[in-house]
Every structure is written in C-alpha cells, then in structure tokens.
Structure 1
Amino acid sequence: MNTLDYFKARLEATISPMDYLRNAQASPKRYYLIDVRNGPEHVRSITIKDANIIPQQELQERLHEIPKDKEIIVYCWDVWCNTAAKVAVLLLEHGYKVKELTGGIAAWREMDFPISESSLDLDSSKNCGC
C-alpha cells in the first residue's frame, strides 16, 4: 500500500470528533454512536452524550440492537486502545457501515464536547480488553 492509499483508507475508516459532532447535529438520524469500552463502571461513568453503551465483550450477544440502516460510529478510550478497531472489524464482517471515532473519549473530552454520566452495571472484575 502506498502513502496515498493509506491516507485514503484511514479517512474512510475514521471520523474526527469535530466532523462527527457537526455531521450528527446536521443529520442526527444518520448515525448510531456506540461506546464499546470494557472495564468497571467507575472508569467508564463518563460517556459521549447520547452514546449507546455496548461493551466489546457483550457485542456478539447484542448485535440485534444495532441498526443496519445507520452509519455506526464506535469509540473506546484513547489512541492507545484498539477495542474500537476490534469492534469495527466484527461489525464490518456482519455487513454494517462503520467508522472509528478518532481519539476516543479522551479526544472528545479534551475538546469539551457534550458528555453524560452513565449508570452502568458491570462486573468490576473484567479488564479493559485493549
């Protein structure tokens, strides 16, 4: 793969927080945002506003909840976490249109974009799965 192909593929597979926020405000029914982070509730209590919470470890059992008629945006912790990429591969294999939110929740919070507190009920013994 040459450099041009790499950057085209990268742009096709990701969306920046700024682009997602702008696009979702303009066409709110176009996207289905999923927080795919694993781990205990106390470290995942802040989510992107209006995100659907489906941890990667639960995804197989909850595929039926994800609409096929929307563009799926997945996010995890930060640039060092590959959980969203793992989820994207699985969803693409099941026929979904998917992009990863660049920088995850860390980039979103750094930009002071809308967040919400979640009240999750997870087994705190599970690790992040990164």
Structure 2
Amino acid sequence: MNTLDYFNARLQATISPMDYLKSIKINPEKYFLIDVRNGPNNLRNITIKGAKVIPEQELQNRLNEIPKDKEIIVYCWDVWCNTASKVAKFLLERDYTVKELTGGIAAWKEMNFPVSDSTQKDSTPNNCGC
C-alpha cells in the first residue's frame, strides 16, 4: 500500500467530529452514532448527544438495536483506544456500513460539541475488556 492508498483508506474509514456535525445538519437520518466504550458507567456518564450507548462487550447480544439502513458511526475514548476499530471491524464483517469517529469522546469534548450527561450510580465491576 502506498501513501496515497493509505490516506484514501483512512478517510473512507473515518469521519471527523466537524464533518459528522456538518453531515447530520444536512441529513440527520443518515447516521446511527454508537458509544462503544467499555468500563464502569461512572466513567462513561458523558456521551455525545444523540449517541446510542452499546458497550463493545455487549455488542454481539444487542445487534438487533443497530439499523442496517443507516451509516454507523462508532466512537470510544480517544486516539489511543482501539475499541471503536474492533467494533467497526465486527460490524463490517456483518455487512453494516461503518466509520469511526476520529479522536473519540476526548476530541468531541475538546471541541465543546454537544454532550449528554447521564450521571448514574454504577454497580458494574470495572471490567474494561479493552
């Protein structure tokens, strides 16, 4: 793979927070955004506004919640986290159309884009599974 092919593939597989916001303003029904982060709820209480929370560890049992007729956008913690990449691969193997949101929740919050706060008590053990 040469450099041009690499960047073309990267752009095809990802979407930036800015491009995602611009796209949902034009066509809000095109995408289905999923927060796939693992870990205890108290660490995941801030999510991107409008995201469906389906932790990677629960994904296989919750596929029925993910529409096949929309482009799926997945995100996790940050650029150092590969959970969203694992989920994207899993969904692509099942014929979903998928992109990863670059930078995850960290980039989204850094840009002060809309978030939801679902502060809840957590009784789940800290089994990240990353």
TM-score (norm 2): 0.95
User: Which 5+ residue runs of structure 2 have no aligned equivalent?
Assistant: none
Deviation at 1:120, TM superposition (A): 5.8
Q: 2-side partners of 1:9 and 1:123: how far apart?
A: 40
Cα distance in structure 2, aligned partners of 1:75 and 1:81 = 9
How many residues align? The count is 130
**Where in structure 1 are there 5+ consecutive unaligned residues?**
none
Instruction: Kindly indicate whether residue 98 of structure 2 is the aligned counterpart of residue 108 of structure 1.
Output: no
**CA-to-partner distance for each residue in 1:9-57, whole Å, 9 max, x for gaps?**
0000000000001101211100000000000011000000010000000
The CA deviation at 1:118 is: 2.0
SS in 2 for 1:29: coil
Q: Deviations over 1:78-123 (max 9, x none)?
A: 0000000000000000000000000000000000000001256765
Match of residue 24 from structure 1: 24
- Deviating runs (4+, > 6 A) in structure 1? none
Q: What amino acid is aligned across from residue 44 of structure 2 in structure 1?
A: R
CA 1:42 to 1:68, structure 2 compared with 1: closer, same or farther past 3 Å?
same
Give, in whole Å, the separation in 2 of the partners of 1:121 and 1:93: 35
Give 1:128 shift. 2.4
1:45 maps to: 45
Question: Residues 42 and 121 of structure 2 are in contact (CA less than 8 Å); yes or no, is this contact kept in structure 1?
Answer: no
Kindly, what percent of the aligned residue pairs are identical? 70
Amino acid at match of 2:51: A
What is the CA RMSD across the aligned residues, in angstroms? Answer: 1.3
Which SS does the other structure have where 1:74 is aligned? strand
AA aligned opposite 1:69: D
TM-score, length of structure 1 as denominator length: 0.95
